[in-house]
Structure formats: C-alpha cells, structure tokens
Amino acid sequence: MEPQFGNYQDEIYLAALGGVLPSLPMTFAEWEARAQGALSASLFSYVAGGAGDEATQRANAAAFQRWGLIPRMLVGATQRQLSVELFGHTLPSPLFMAPVGVVGLCAQDGHGDLATARAAARTGVPMVASTLTVDPLEQVAAEFGDTPGFFQLYTPTDRELAASLVHRAEAAGFRGIVVTLDTWVTGWRPRDLATGNFPQLRGHCLANYFSDPVFRSRLAKAPEEDPGAAILTWAQLFRSALTWDDLPWLRSLTDLPLILKGLCHPGDVRRARDAGVDGIYCSNHGGRQANGGLAALDLLPAVVEAADGLPVLFDSGVRSGTDVVKALALGATAVGVGRPYVYGLALAGTDGIVHVLRSLLTEADLLMAVDGYPTLDSLRAEGAVRRI
C-alpha cells in the first residue's frame, strides 16, 4: 500500500492529547527564524542570502502565489499515490533534497552532509550531495541505506580530476550525476561580500578534493601539511565554463544517468535532450547566482514541453508542501527543496530534517486529498492548475 504521508498530522495531534507538543515549528518562516538563532551570523547569511538585491530569490517564492489549484469534488481521494519512477528507481514521493554546498557546516556537530544522508535513509527522500562536502562522498553515500542518492558535480577545469570525482561517485553507489551549469563563476552576493564569507576559501567543505588522488597529485605537499596551498590549487581548478562542446566528454564519463542542472530555456532543453542527457533540472540556483531573472516556476511549463518526456527535476523557491504540489501540477517529475531542510538540520540535525520533509509531504498529501487529486497523473491533467 502507498504510504499516506498525511498520517504525520495524526501523530502530532495524538501526541498532543498526551501533553506532548511539537518541539519544532511547522512553517518555513518559523524554521528560518529559529535557524537564524542556531547558526552563526555569517553562515545563516550564506544560506539565506541571494544574488544582488535578491529580487530573483523573492520572485522564485512569490511565483507560487500566481498559480492556483482548482478543487475537484466527489472523487473519493481517500488513498493518494505520490510515488514516482525516476531513473529506474521507484521513490515513495516526488520530493528530493537539492544540493547545498555548505550543508555540512550547518549541523551542530559539523557533519551536516552525513546527517542529511541519514535523513534520506529514514524518509526515502533522495539527497543530491554537493561536490562541496565536509565529509568525503564515500562516507556520505554509505549513509543512504536503501534510498538512492545523486552526486552533484561542479566540473573542475582539470578533466582528469572531473573523471576521478565521477568514478568515485559511481564506485560509492550514487545513482546519477547532476552537473551544475551556472556556477563556473560566483554570482554577486552582497551579504557574503559584506562579511567576507566564502567558506571554501577558508578550507571548508573541500573533503572531496583533499581526499581525491588526482587532486592530491597536483600538490607539492599533502593538504594536511600545507592547507593554504591546497586551497589555492582548488580555487584555480574549481571553475570550468562548460560549453556544448564539452557535453560529449561529460556523457562519456559515466553510464549513470546524466542530469543537467540550470536549464531554463526551451532551446537549451531541446539541445541537451538531443545530446543524450537523461534528465533536465530546471533551476535558477534559488536566486543565489544571478539576479534580475524570471522566477523558475514560471519557466517550468515550457521546459517540460521542450523536455518531451525526459524527467524534469525542479527547484527554486519551494517553501511548502503546497509549493511542491503546484510544481508537480505544472509538470515537474520531482521537486527539490533546499533552504527548508537546511534550517531543519540547523535546529535538530537529522531529526530536524526528517520533521521538515515529513511536514512538506504531509501538507502536499492532505492538499491533494482535500482538492480531489488522488494521483500525480490526475494532478497533471489539464485544468488542475491555473495562473491567477
């Protein structure tokens, strides 16, 4: 039987009858406010901030208010089916955790990547693990349990190093490679500039590089012996401005599903599809990289049409279970959440992430029940959602 995520609500009400109230808040605004007190000022700013005056970041979240669901009655939606097929895996829900390059620093014990992977194991919600982690990718993958995990690649300029990272991810058991396209240069981020906060330049979240045999071969001394030189080498190798000419090489690196992250223009989607990628990831990096753009959600329908049947992953601006449902109604195969789960991590580690994920899924499940959409197919049918 399909899991009924709405049952989490019953657990909370029943516990309250015994005098036990939730220790963690229930909404994004409260998660964010509490996390601000749990994280250092510079780290919170790094997670919460965006590019420029953050207009695109705000637009991402506001876009969900411009789409409305149309209720359908008398359909008997007593059982909802939220499972999805993604790259050969049956997932209990269409939710996944988007890559966040400083998530490792956001846990109170400094091992947030491992905590996130454990939350994936407990919930069945996949984690897309960033290249930038506190703990090596092999240790992160070891915590996934039966939940498939995906490895997000920031493609370095050194092709041998890129191949090494991908092959390590394969060997560790990751089930797909997500190539981020929009971070070959760092966007203009006033909040981070004001505090001089670039964690990787301080040596944070570089475990995958410092543990990599190819990277280490590029150093005169081991990273533990001369961390400054290792950081400088990382900075020199990190940024690769990929072009379409690089796509055949990327495709040749692995037989795992290859997903391109950052595609928002239908022409780019069609070109990627024709080049043999396995999935499209519609995202504007949550507004962290480029300001002045359109909300990712408003671009999603055209991306889905251009994908022509390829799976379309989506993130940017997702703050609630209602947002998840709207993105699914607009055609997303799977929907990624970023800042909310990071805030849950900051508040209570793995338990905090699990609470946030279950809250999002409960809201999504109950909304589909009340509005009369028992399946994802029914939600995606014509007339389920309308622009306000």
**pTM for the whole structure:** 0.97
What pLDDT shows up at residue 381? Answer: 86
Which listed residue (111, 204, 285, 355) is catalytic? 285
pLDDT for res 1 = 58
Q: Is 179 known as a binding-site position? A: no
pLDDT digits 0-9 by tens, 22-75: 999 999 999 999 999 999 999 999 999 999 999 999 999 999 999 999 999 999
Residue with tokens 């965006």: 50
Q: Give 366-385 pLDDT, tens digit per residue.
A: 999 999 999 999 999 877 89
Any known ligand binding at 318?
yes
How far apart CA 247 and CA 275 sit, in angstroms, is 7
Question: Any binding-site annotation on 221?
Answer: no
pLDDT digits over 264-276, tens only? 999 999 999 999 9
The label of the residue with tokens 């990712």 reads 296
The contacts of residue 268 (CB under 8 Å, 6+ apart) are: none
Please name every residue paired with 180 in a beta bridge, in sequence order, or none if there are none. Answer: 261
Among 364, 248, 295, smallest CA distance to 54 is for 295
- Domains defined along the chain, listed by start: 7-387 (3.20.20.70)
Residue 204 catalytic? Answer: no
Confidence (pLDDT) at 238: 93
Q: Could you tell me if 343 and 361 are in contact, meaning their C-beta atoms sit under 8 angstroms apart?
A: no
Q: What tokens does 372 get?
A: 């009369």
> Is 339 annotated as ligand-binding?
yes
Q: Report pLDDT digits (tens) over 132-175.
A: 999 999 999 999 999 999 999 999 999 999 999 999 999 999 99
Structure-block tokens of residue 282: 């519609």
- Angle, helices 28-38 vs 339-371, to 10°: value is 170
